[in-house]
Chain A
Amino acid sequence: AQTVTQSQPEMSVQEAETVTLSCTYDTSESDYYLFWYKQPPSRQMILVIRQEAYKQQNATENRFSVNFQKAAKSFSLKISDSQLGDAAMYFCAPGSNYKLTFGKGTLLTVNP
C-alpha cells in the first residue's frame, strides 16, 4: 500500500515567480513511478510530469521540474515563471502495478 502526504493545502505565487509544492510518500514497492497532475477548477485532470523511480535524474517539462529524493521518499514540484493558467489543484501521485495513489492536493493561486 502507498500513502501520500501533501503538507501544503494551499499555496500562492506571484505571476512570473517560482513556487515549489511538496510531496512525501511511503511505499513498500521497489518498482514504481511518480506523477504530478493538475486539476483546474471544474476541468479535467491533466498530467504535468512523470518520474521513473529507478532514474536518479530529475524530470523536467518546460517550466515544470521535480526534485526527487528517493531515500527520503520526497517528490516536490517546482514551477518556474508562474503563469495565471497554472492556477489549479495539484496532486502528487505515486503509482505501481498500474494503480495511482493520490494525495489530498495543493491548491495553487497565481496572483497577477
Chain B
Amino acid sequence: DTGVSQNPRHKITKRGQNVTFRCDPISEHNRLYWYRQTLGQGPEFLTYFQNEAQLEKSRLLSDRFSAERPKGSFSTLEIQRTEQGDSAMYLCASSPSGRLADTQYFGPGTRLTVL
C-alpha cells in the first residue's frame, strides 16, 4: 500500500492526558498537511509542512497542539492536556512537488475520543 498511512486509527483517552498521532505520507511527497474533522462537518485545516519546515499554522492550533516533521518524512501531531472538545477525526494528507503540488491525498485518519 503506497498511500498515506496514519497510526493509530483509533485512540480513546481520558481528559488531561497527552496523545500523539503519526502520519506517513506517500513516498517522495514533500508537503504534508493536518486537518481536523468533527462530526457532520468538513475537514478544517490545522497546519502544513514543506519538507521539515512548518510553513503555516491555523488559529485552531492552540498552544496545546504541536506538530513536527523532523526529517521531512513522517510527521507527528501531539495534543497535550486533552479536552473533550478535542474529540474528532484527525486527517493527514500529502502532496507531491511539481505540477500537482496543490493536489492533496488523504490518509484514513485517526479518530480521537476524549472521555
Point out residues on A near B: beta carbons under 8 Å: 4, 33, 35, 37, 43-47, 50, 91, 93, 95, 97-105
Contacts and interface: CB of A to CB of B under 8 A. Distances in A.
Contacts of A97: 56
Interface of B: 31, 33, 35, 40-45, 48, 50, 55-56, 91, 93, 95, 101-109
A98 B33 CA distance: 9
Given A33-B102, A99-B33, A100-B104, 20 more contacts: A4-B42, A33-B103, A35-B103, A35-B104, A37-B106, A45-B93, A45-B106, A46-B106, A50-B103, A91-B42, A91-B43, A98-B55, A98-B56, A98-B95, A98-B102, A100-B45, A102-B44, A104-B40, A104-B42, A105-B41
Nearest to A45: B106
Interface of B is mostly: strand
Given A97-B56, A104-B41, A47 B103 contact: yes
Contacts of B33: 98-100
